[in-house]
A = this chain, B = another copy of it.
Amino acid sequence: MSSERLIYLPLGGAGEIGMNAYVYGYGKPGKERLILVDLGVTFPDMDTTPGVDLIHADISWLGERADRLEAVFVTHAHEDHVGAVAHCYEALGAPIYARAFSANIARRKMEEHGHPEDAVRTVSAWPEQVSAGPFTVGFLPVSHSIPESAGLVIDTPEGRIVHTGDFKLDENPMVGEPFDPDLWAEVAKSGVKALVCDSTNVFSDHAGRSESEVGPEITKLVEGAEGMVVATTFASNVARVKTLAEAGQRAGRSVVLLGRAMRRMIEAATETGILTDFPKVVSAEEAVDLPRQNLMLIVTGSQGERRAASAQLARGKYRGLELKEGDLFLFSSKTIPGNERGVIFIMNQLSEKGVDVVDDSSGLYHVSGHANRPDLEKVHALIDPQIVIPMHGEHRHLREHTKLAEAGGRTGILAVNGTMVDLTGNTPQVVDYIETGRTYLDGTVKVGALDGIVRDRIRMALNGHVTVTVILDEENEPLGEPWCDTMGLPEIGTSRAALVEVLEEDLNQFLMRADAKTLRDDDKLEEAMRRIVRQTAKAEIGKKPEVTTVISRMK
């Protein structure tokens, strides 16, 4: 067991779509030199993470081995791939490599957190390579829904790994490099040990569609519009933003970009030379003075985010601009599962204003950035690896993708977060399970998903809260009566008396009868009072609230 080995260990992204973080290692067991591919976030929701600001993979395994971490490689600038680089920089410290556009975005994050921007290093596309310990890594351009996405060509003493990152096979992506089958074939020529591959769209049976297909449809739509036109898409989909802007321009409209992310992305794409001929934009201030039928707003908030420009416009006036009867609002986007309610909410607000809403249900105004099932088969064949390791997917995606690989006569490995796979030799095997999980950025504090903090908040949301206060004198006798304060509970229960009074009465009865031993013992007293509150509340209002008991002793 002392010979060198090549390991693969997903910490995030394998078993979910979001918070990507994949470790590769090479060396003697327990002494491998490591690299990390991507370090992204995932977004909280009220069901499971109320009040949480951001979520990233629990990197404590890696943090404890930071001295062995050679580098972090970022495949592209989507938040689920780059979003946590600054949040984790203190713990990991390793240099961050990315192509120019992704590096630009990563540096902005580092700067916001007061970390050194030069920790982010720009790498050119393949054939340039970076040495990182036993690894040599090159950035293979792939088409996706953001500029300069890259697959990684990771050369190891045990052979070549191709880690696709997020990708689609688009030969005409409008902005950035098209899918180049010759280049992929060249990379594969010398043999590929493992293809670690995007699984997002494995359930989509048709071949993926090109970004170039939406332009003509959007143009037609905008040209037919009579009032103001507003379109929303992911700000990072620079090609789409450009397509939208050009459609506006062609229809004789002035283009306005609204939302911080929208302006920031276009800025980054322009700074890095990716975007050279973006239509001239006007500011919101200038737009206010222009006739509404001459305006084309391109705005953030395609997922119904409450503070984004789309939500603000749906609510009322935003930066002087206001939607009206006869205006058109285009969702040039798909709704990510879980965001439906927020998006529908906005659609209805727009409907109330008399705005015509067009979404992607027709399939005309949006294409996905991920490879569909036939595209995946094509890539398996093109790269022709010994092993396929599906990543970037929920369990069902990974499983389906594994089956697809096996149907093609290859070894498929279903490795979810925390599964350490030894790729050395001819038969890959699972050698360890690492405890993984999620880290919540909660306000400004990082908390573990299992710390119980968020669980307590969820319980208060479901059950409400009661504070019980009791004062005991030097003899441990109650000084006056106990009292209760409630939060998030109805004032009156089934007995038609005030809930707090019924609670206080029951607590008082208990205290008057409690023996000296109980009254002396904070824990016992607390537990007993908590039980009474929950029982009485259950009888009165049908709910068992969370309880905080404060026992004050006069000593």
Binding site for B on A (CB under 8 A): 15, 45-47, 50-51, 53, 203, 337-338, 340-341, 344, 347-348, 350-352, 354, 357, 361, 394-396, 399, 442-445, 447, 451, 453-454, 456-458, 460-465, 467, 469, 471, 479, 483, 485, 487-490, 492-494, 538, 541-543, 546, 548, 550, 552, 554
Contact = CB atoms under 8 A, between A and B. Distances in A.
Contacts of A487: 456-457, 460, 465, 546, 548
Contacts of A461: 46, 50-51, 457-458, 460-461
Contact of A396 (B347, B463, B554): B347
B444 A494 contact: yes
Contacts of A338: 340-341
A51 B347 CA distance: 27
A94 to B, nearest CB: 24
Copies of this protein in the complex = 2
Nearest to A342: B47
Contacts of A344: 337, 394
B454 A488 contact: yes
Nearest to A399: B351
A50 B483 CA distance: 26
Given A445-B490, A490-B442, A552 B396 contact: no
Given A46-B461, A394-B344, A465-B460, A490 B550 contact: no
Contact of A341 (B45, B479, B494): B45
A442 B543 contact: yes
Contacts of A458: 46, 50, 461
Nearest to A549: B485
Contact of A46 (B47, B348, B442, B464): B47
A542 B471 contact: no
B45 A50 contact: no
Interface centre among A460, A479, A541, A554 (most CB of B within 10 A): A460
A361 B372 CA distance: 15
A361 B203 contact: yes
Given A47-B46, A461-B50, A442 B541 contact: yes
Given A46-B46, A340-B338, A543-B51, A552 B471 contact: yes
Nearest to A457: B488
Nearest to A550: B469
A380 to B, nearest CB: 21
Contact of A469 (B203, B396, B552): B552
Contacts of A399: 351, 354
A45 B46 CA distance: 9
Contacts of A490: 442-443, 445, 447, 451, 453
Contacts of A352: 395
Contacts of A550: 467, 469, 483, 485, 550
A481 to B, nearest CB: 11
A386 B457 CA distance: 54
A462 B463 CA distance: 14
Nearest to A483: B550
A312 to B, nearest CB: 19
Given A444-B493, A483-B550, 19 more contacts: A45-B47, A45-B341, A46-B46, A46-B47, A46-B50, A46-B458, A47-B47, A51-B464, A348-B396, A352-B395, A442-B542, A443-B541, A445-B493, A445-B542, A456-B488, A465-B465, A467-B548, A471-B552, A548-B548
